[in-house]
Amino acid sequence: MCPIHRTLNIILLAAGLICLATNGARAAGNPTVLKVDARDARRRVLHATLHLPAQPGPLTLLYPKWMPGEHGPTGPISDLVGLKMTAAGQPVAWQRDPLDNYAFHLEVPPGADAVDVTLNFLLPSDPKGFTAAASSSANLVVISWNTLLLYPKGVAANAVDFAVRLQLPAGWKFASALPRANDSANGMEFAPVTLETLIDSPLIAGAYLRTFDLSPGAPRPHRLNVVADSAAALEMRPADLEHFSRLVIEEPALFGAQHYRKYDFLLTLSDQVAHFGLEHHESSDNRTPERMLMDEALRKGWAGLLPHEMVHSWNGKYRRPADMATPDYHQPMKIELLWVYEGLTTYLGEVLTARCGLWSVTNYLEHLALVAAQLDHQRGRDWRPLADTTVAAHLLYYARPQGTAWRRSVDFYPEGELIWLEADVTLRERTQGRRSLDDFCQRFFGGESGPPCVVPYTLDDVLKTLNEIAPFDWRGFFQQRIYSVNPRAPLGGIERGGWRLAYRDTPSEMLKAFETVKKVTDFSFSLGLSLAEDGGILDIIPGLPADRAGVGPGMKLLAVNQRRWKPELLRTAIKDAEGGATPIELLVENGDVFQTCRLDYHGGERYPCLERDAGKPDLLAEIIKPRAR
Binding site for Zn ion (CB under 5 A): 342
Distance of closest approach, residue 371 Cβ to Zn ion, in angstroms = 15
Q: How far is Cα 393 from Cα 338, in angstroms, rounded to an integer? A: 9
Query: Between 229 and 342, whose beta carbon lies closer to Zn ion?
Result: 342
Where is 96: in which H helix or E strand? strand 94-96
CA distances from 370 to 343, 418, 513, 608 (A): 16, 11, 11, 6
Distance of closest approach, residue 279 Cβ to Zn ion, in angstroms = 6
CA 219 to chain centroid, in Å, comes to 28
Distance of closest approach, residue 393 Cβ to Zn ion, in angstroms = 11
* Helix 414-430 / helix 437-445 crossing angle, nearest 10 deg: 110
Q: How far is Cα 7 from Cα 421, in angstroms, rounded to an integer? A: 36
Distance of closest approach, residue 308 Cβ to Zn ion, in angstroms = 6
Query: Between 342 and 539, whose beta carbon lies closer to Zn ion?
Result: 342
Query: Between 24 and 304, whose beta carbon lies closer to Zn ion?
Result: 304
Q: How far is Cα 274 from Cα 277, in angstroms, rounded to an integer? A: 10
Query: Between 343 and 498, whose beta carbon lies closer to Zn ion?
Result: 343
Distance of closest approach, residue 414 Cβ to Zn ion, in angstroms = 12
Half-sphere exposure of 366 (CA within 13 A, CB side): 18
The single-letter DSSP state of residue 482 is H
- Select from 481, 507, 496 the least CA-distant residue to 370: 507
Q: How far is Cα 508 from Cα 515, in angstroms, rounded to an integer? A: 11
Query: Between 285 and 342, whose beta carbon lies closer to Zn ion?
Result: 342
- The neighbour count for residue 550, using CB atoms within 10 Å, is 16
What does the longest C-alpha to C-alpha distance in the chain come to?
88
Q: Residue 556 forms beta bridges with which residues?
A: 536, 589
Distance of closest approach, residue 316 Cβ to Zn ion, in angstroms = 7
Query: Between 108 and 306, whose beta carbon lies closer to Zn ion?
Result: 306
Query: Between 307 and 497, whose beta carbon lies closer to Zn ion?
Result: 307
Distance of closest approach, residue 278 Cβ to Zn ion, in angstroms = 8
Q: Which residues contact 275 (CB under 8 A, 6 or more apart)?
A: 127, 287, 288, 289
Distance of closest approach, residue 130 Cβ to Zn ion, in angstroms = 11
Query: Between 196 and 342, whose beta carbon lies closer to Zn ion?
Result: 342
* Helix 343-355 / helix 361-376 crossing angle, nearest 10 deg: 150
What's the length of the chain? Answer: 629
Distance of closest approach, residue 342 Cβ to Zn ion, in angstroms = 5
Query: Between 159 and 254, whose beta carbon lies closer to Zn ion?
Result: 254
Distance of closest approach, residue 234 Cβ to Zn ion, in angstroms = 25
The C-alpha torsion from 392 through 395 and 401 to 403, rounded to 10°, is -60
Where is 404: in which H helix or E strand? helix 404-407
Q: Strands 94-96, 103-108: parallel, antiparallel or unpaired by DSSP? A: antiparallel
Query: Between 342 and 438, whose beta carbon lies closer to Zn ion?
Result: 342
Q: Strands 283-288, 263-269: parallel, antiparallel or unpaired by DSSP? A: parallel
Query: Between 342 and 411, whose beta carbon lies closer to Zn ion?
Result: 342
The single-letter DSSP state of residue 379 is G
CA distances from 167 to 47, 160, 162, 179, 406 (A): 10, 23, 16, 16, 48
- Select from 208, 160, 200 the least CA-distant residue to 176: 200
Amino acid at position 237, single letter: R
Burial of 614 (0-12, 13-18, 19+ CB in 10 A): exposed
Distance of closest approach, residue 338 Cβ to Zn ion, in angstroms = 9
Q: Strands 319-321, 455-457: parallel, antiparallel or unpaired by DSSP? A: parallel
Q: How far is Cα 103 from Cα 199, in angstroms, rounded to an integer? A: 18
The single-letter DSSP state of residue 67 is B
Query: Between 120 and 346, whose beta carbon lies closer to Zn ion?
Result: 346
Query: Between 208 and 341, whose beta carbon lies closer to Zn ion?
Result: 341
Distance of closest approach, residue 59 Cβ to Zn ion, in angstroms = 36
* Residue 243 φ/ψ, nearest 5 degrees: -65, -40
- Select from 452, 514, 420 the least CA-distant residue to 194: 452
Distance of closest approach, residue 70 Cβ to Zn ion, in angstroms = 10
The single-letter DSSP state of residue 5 is G
CA 580 to chain centroid, in Å, comes to 45
Distance of closest approach, residue 345 Cβ to Zn ion, in angstroms = 5
Query: Between 316 and 608, whose beta carbon lies closer to Zn ion?
Result: 316
